[in-house]
Amino acid sequence: MLYRRYNEYIKQKYNARIKKICIDAGFTCPNRDGTCGVGGCIFCGERGAGDHIDITSHSIREHVERYLRYTRRVDGFIAYFQSFTNTYAPVDVLRERYDAALFDKRIVALAIATRPDCVSEDVAQLIQSYKSRVDVWAELGLQTSNDNTARLINRGYDTGAFENACNILKKYDIPIVVHIMIGLPGESDNELKNTVDYINHFDMQGIKIHNTYVMKNTRLEELYLNGEYTPITMDKYTDSVIYVLTHISPEIVIHRLTGDCPPDKLTAPDRNLRKEDIISEITRKMEERKVFQGCYYTKK
């Protein structure tokens, strides 16, 4: 096994066919509403990570109901709160919106994407309260361990916030999936190495690896069009992914190897539209080099 694939992990865990329901729950983000910044991260589109989510339904429940009604040959579902910061509201509001998605016994897990600076004791206690009903995990957007890059991309928090969030989630035994990005402006191989070393200090259960692509109507697009940012090549990207895979713990589940962007919202690079080609090239190189997940991992 070259790496611990998410799909295989889910099949083994549930011994069933499980599909993810991506949910836009109407949240915003503290670096959009002025709490810690405005405009969001420079790579982030108008709908956060939810540009592909159908929002024609009038409520979370209606969205999930429609998904359950029209999805065939599936045994169970994961309610994935994806768009923007899904812990950025009072606990009562969070509970109401999570509950709206968990009304059917076929929902087997609750996954919550959020920012580290929006994880508190109260939030963690709420998430933990669902563990008696469904599996849960939290997804934290780190992107990079370099605080200088974080300021450049307008992330809005430093690594101290990430460490604090990890400590809180670990206290309540909530699994963590970390998001990192490859090819951010100004980052070199050394920054990627430092990010990998950094996350190896924490007890992560999963990782999502994203390529930095340029979306229309973003600050990153302005930098790209002005010649101030150039996406890395596919060869460089696949080599970088392999570095991450070979240097992280073999126990971490690999949730994704590249990001998705709707074709009509993509400015560059064109390879982002060829997700399967990227994954195939990563597999080919790993087989050719006879490497596998964690082969160079050193426990911190």
Give per-residue pLDDT as tens, 80-92.
999 889 999 999 9
Strands 135-143 and 206-211: unpaired
Strand partners, 177: 139, 206
Overall average pLDDT of the 136-152 stretch: 97
Band of residue 294 on the pLDDT scale cut at 50, 70, 90 = very high
Query: What are the distances in angstroms from CA 70 to CA 64, 73, 76, 78, 102?
Result: 10, 10, 13, 15, 17
155: Cβ contacts below 8 Å, ≥ 6 apart = 31, 41, 141, 143
- Model confidence at 167: pLDDT above 60: yes
Q: Which of 24-28, 37-41, 226-230, 262-266 has the highest mean pLDDT?
A: 226-230
Peptide bond before 269: cis, by omega within 30 degrees of 0?
A: yes
Q: What is the CATH number of domain 6-289?
A: 3.20.20.70
- Cβ contact 4:253 at 8 Å: yes
Overall average pLDDT of the 64-76 stretch: 91
Percent of the residues in the chain that have a pLDDT greater than 90, as a whole number: 83
Band of residue 40 on the pLDDT scale cut at 50, 70, 90 = confident
- Model confidence at 278: pLDDT above 60: yes
Overall average pLDDT of the 209-225 stretch: 95
- Model confidence at 170: pLDDT above 60: yes
Mean pLDDT of the chain: 93
Overall average pLDDT of the 21-43 stretch: 88
Overall average pLDDT of the 113-122 stretch: 97
Query: What are the distances in angstroms from CA 229 to CA 153, 184, 201, 218?
Result: 12, 9, 31, 13
Angle made by CA atoms 105, 22, 282, in degrees to the nearest 5: 115
Overall average pLDDT of the 96-125 stretch: 97
- Model confidence at 50: pLDDT above 50: no
**pLDDT for 240-273, tens place per residue?**
999 999 999 999 999 999 988 888 889 999 877 7
pLDDT at position 55 is 55
Q: Which of 141, 109, 140 is nearest to 21 (CA)?
A: 109
